[in-house]
Amino acid sequence: MRVLVIGSGAREHALCVALAADPAVTALACAPGNAGTRTLAESLGAAVGDPVAVAALANGWAADLVVIGPEVPLVAGAADAVREAGIASIRPSAHAAPLEGSKSFAKHLMAAAGVPTARSWPVGGAAELETALDEVAALTGGAPFVVKDDGLAAGKGVLVTPDRAAALAHGNAVLDAGHAVLVEEYLDGPEVSLFALTDGRTVVPLLPAQDAKRRDDGDDGPNTGGMGAYAPLPWAPPGLVDEVLATVLQPTVDEMARRGEPFAGLLYAGLALTARGVRVVEFNARFGDPETEVVLPLLETPLAGLLMAAATGGLDALPPLRWRPGAAVTVVVAAPGYPEAPRTGEPLTVPAGEGYLHAGTAVAPGGGVLSAGGRVLAVTAVGPDLAAARTAAYERVAGVRLAGAHWRTDIALAAVEGRVTSPR
- Pick from 95, 46, 48, 100: nearest CA to 69: 48
Shortest Cβ 136–ligand AMP spacing (Å): 10
Shortest Cβ 43–ligand AMP spacing (Å): 31
Distances (CA, A) of 236 to 115, 118, 151: 20, 20, 31
Q: Which residues in 275-294 contact ligand AMP (CB under 6 A)?
A: 281-282
User: Which of 118, 174, 245, 370 contacts ligand AMP by CB under 6 A?
Assistant: 118
Nearer to ligand AMP among residue 80 and residue 185 (C-beta): 185
184 near ligand AMP (CB under 6 A): yes
Tell me the number of residues near ligand AMP by CB under 6 A: 15
Nearer to ligand AMP among residue 5 and residue 74 (C-beta): 74
User: Which of 65, 129, 187, 393 contacts ligand AMP by CB under 6 A?
Assistant: 187
147 near ligand AMP (CB under 6 A): no
Alpha carbons 411 and 133: distance in angstroms, whole number: 33
Name the one range near ligand AMP by CB under 6 A: 48-56, 180-188, 328-336, 405-413. Answer: 180-188
Strand partners, 193: 209, 270
Nearer to ligand AMP among residue 164 and residue 324 (C-beta): 164
- Within 245-402, where are the H helices? 250-258, 292-295, 303-312, 386-397
Name the one range near ligand AMP by CB under 6 A: 41-49, 92-100, 153-161, 286-294. Answer: 153-161
- Pick from 397, 360, 403, 366: nearest CA to 35: 360
Alpha carbons 270 and 71: distance in angstroms, whole number: 15
360 near ligand AMP (CB under 6 A): no
Spatial contact of 400 and 349, defined as CB atoms under 8 Å apart: yes
> How many other C-beta atoms are found inside a 10 Å radius of the C-beta of residue 249?
23
Shortest Cβ 146–ligand AMP spacing (Å): 4
Q: Which residues in 48-77 contact ligand AMP (CB under 6 A)?
A: none
Nearer to ligand AMP among residue 188 and residue 254 (C-beta): 188
User: Which of 101, 200, 225, 270 contacts ligand AMP by CB under 6 A?
Assistant: 270
Measured in degrees and rounded to the nearest 5, phi and psi for residue 55 equal: -65, -40
H or E segment to which residue 330 belongs:
strand 327-334
Alpha carbons 192 and 352: distance in angstroms, whole number: 32
Measured in degrees and rounded to the nearest 5, phi and psi for residue 390 equal: -65, -45
261 near ligand AMP (CB under 6 A): no
- Pick from 395, 387, 375: nearest CA to 417: 387
186 near ligand AMP (CB under 6 A): yes
Nearer to ligand AMP among residue 235 and residue 323 (C-beta): 235
Alpha carbons 160 and 178: distance in angstroms, whole number: 21
Shortest Cβ 120–ligand AMP spacing (Å): 8
Spatial contact of 183 and 136, defined as CB atoms under 8 Å apart: yes
Q: Which residues in 197-226 contact ligand AMP (CB under 6 A)?
A: 213
DSSP-derived letter for residue 418 is T
User: Which of 160, 168, 180, 388 contacts ligand AMP by CB under 6 A?
Assistant: 160
Shortest Cβ 355–ligand AMP spacing (Å): 25
User: Which of 36, 155, 205, 290 contacts ligand AMP by CB under 6 A?
Assistant: 155
Torsion of CA 240, 241, 242, 245, to 10 degrees: 120
- Pick from 197, 196, 194, 195: nearest CA to 310: 197
Which positions touch ligand AMP (CB under 6 A)? 118, 146, 148, 155, 158, 160, 184-187, 191, 213, 270, 281-282
